[in-house]
Amino acid sequence: MENRNLDAALSPVILGIESSCDDTAAAVVAGGRLRSTIVSSQHIHTVFGGVVPELASRAHQQLVVPIVEQALHEAGVRREDLDAIAVTYGPGLAGSLLVGLSFAKAYAYGLDIPLIGVNHLEGHIYSVFLNEDGPAFPFLCLVVSGGHTQLVLVEDGFRHTILGSTLDDAAGEAFDKVAKLLDLGYPGGPVIDRLAREGNPTFHDFPRSRPGEYDFSFSGLKTSVLYFLNRFSEEERRAFLKDHLADLCASFQQAVVDVLLAALERAIVATGAREAAIVGGVSANTRLRRSAGDLARKLGVRLHVPAPIHSVDNGAMIAMTGQFKLAAGITSPLTLTAQPNLSL
Ligand code: KG4
Ligand code: ZN
């Protein structure tokens, strides 16, 4: 038993579970290395052009057991080998969070191992430690997802200072809403990213708003895409999009990238940060990754961006955050409840 405890301290085996929105995901991290990661995206929501909470929660119920079993199997780990279970407890959809959290609590109780509640946004921030070479603390982190857009100074010991946030839509939400205007389906980010590769980013100059030094606002940008399209009759619009859909996507995307990176640049200069990170679903964006790389070279900072599969929601980032928390002695009681509005 003593040896087992020593092993656990040196190289804990942690199962991470994520079910805050429409992805059911589980992963195993052992000794700081990712051993498996399984994500099941719920395609049912595509039909509705957005996530339907009740359907998401029902799908999580069906998927959580097989996804966890697959993650353990692919990692070559038995349940009894687990040292802790990390799980997202907020922010997110209440019904979705409840499924993953209830499962994790029961599993931790049954195996008599610690439960570690993870804030989904912390999970995104710590996703950069899944890279071969993670950042040193403190680092500046731009969190850009479907629900959040925040610029955060991350210090060791789970201390975060929020420098700025979006005042309205999140960056990913802007991608999703503009994609909906263009009938491109859900989620919109990956589709716009792909189409924009063939388009001209200077085709139309959409507004770049700057509501504060480090704050963001994307609802005006979304509205200006709407107004741009409303100038056309139905027939003209069809003809225009036939020729210029890629240009429109590229121009919109460029406006989002410019706004995000301008705030990041101001923050790097003002804080003198040497390390910066971009995380969350939108950090999968090709243009953002490329331009952020250019910015980092210009400013001489080390930039950390997760692999695209770790940018979007996944269980690996939750398991990795769990590992940091366990090492810091932070665990959660089995009375932990889902917190849909949890902030950093
Ligand atoms: O982090 P995430 O998977 O879930 C949330 O925590 O919200 O982020 C999902 C968001 C969606 O809005 C999606 O459209 C966006 O990330 N996204 C992208 C790309 N891939 C996902 N946005 C732009 N370009 C992408 N390649
Ligand atoms: Zn997320």
Nearest CA to ligand 1 atom 23: 189
Contacts of 33 (CB under 8 A, 6+ apart): none
Contacts of 61 (CB under 8 A, 6+ apart): 99
pLDDT digits (tens, 9 = 90+) for 299-333: 999 999 999 999 999 999 999 999 999 999 999 99
Q: Residue 8's pLDDT is what?
A: 52
Q: How far is CA 280 from CA 30, 148, 171, in A?
A: 23, 9, 10
Atom of ligand 1 nearest to the CA of 172: 12
Integer Cα distance of 237 and 186 in angstroms: 21
Strand 13-18 to strand 302-304: parallel, antiparallel, or no bridges (unpaired)? unpaired
- State phi, psi for 278 to the nearest 5 degrees: -130, 125
Average pLDDT estimate for 260-267: 98
Cα(221) to ligand 1 centroid in Å equals: 17
Probe residue for ligand 1, chosen from 37, 120, 124, 145 as the CB with the greatest number of ligand atoms within 8 Å: 145
Nearest CA to ligand 1 atom 13: 189
Q: Residue 103's pLDDT is what?
A: 98
Probe residue for ligand 1, chosen from 312, 318, 341 as the CB with the greatest number of ligand atoms within 8 Å: 312
Q: What is the average pLDDT score of the chain?
A: 95
Q: Residue 222's pLDDT is what?
A: 96
Q: Residue 42's pLDDT is what?
A: 78
Q: How confident is the model at residue 2 (pLDDT cuts 50, 70, 90)?
A: very low
Integer Cα distance of 86 and 21 in angstroms: 17
Mark residue 183 as left, alpha or beta (left: phi above 0; alpha: psi -120 to 50; beta: remaining). left
pLDDT digits (tens, 9 = 90+) for 133-148: 999 999 999 999 999 9
Q: What percent of the chain has pLDDT over 70?
A: 97
Cα(158) to ligand 1 centroid in Å equals: 24
Q: How far is CA 60 from CA 24, 66, 275, 302, 314, in A?
A: 6, 10, 36, 37, 14
pLDDT digits (tens, 9 = 90+) for 158-192: 999 999 999 999 999 999 999 999 999 989 999 99
The pTM assigned to this predicted structure is 0.95
Q: Residue 1's pLDDT is what?
A: 40
Q: How confident is the model at residue 10 (pLDDT cuts 50, 70, 90)?
A: low
Ligand 1 lining (C-beta closer than 6 Å): 21, 145-147, 172-173, 175-176, 187-190, 193, 280-282, 284-285, 312-313
Probe residue for ligand 1, chosen from 175, 249, 287 as the CB with the greatest number of ligand atoms within 8 Å: 175
Q: How confident is the model at residue 4 (pLDDT cuts 50, 70, 90)?
A: very low
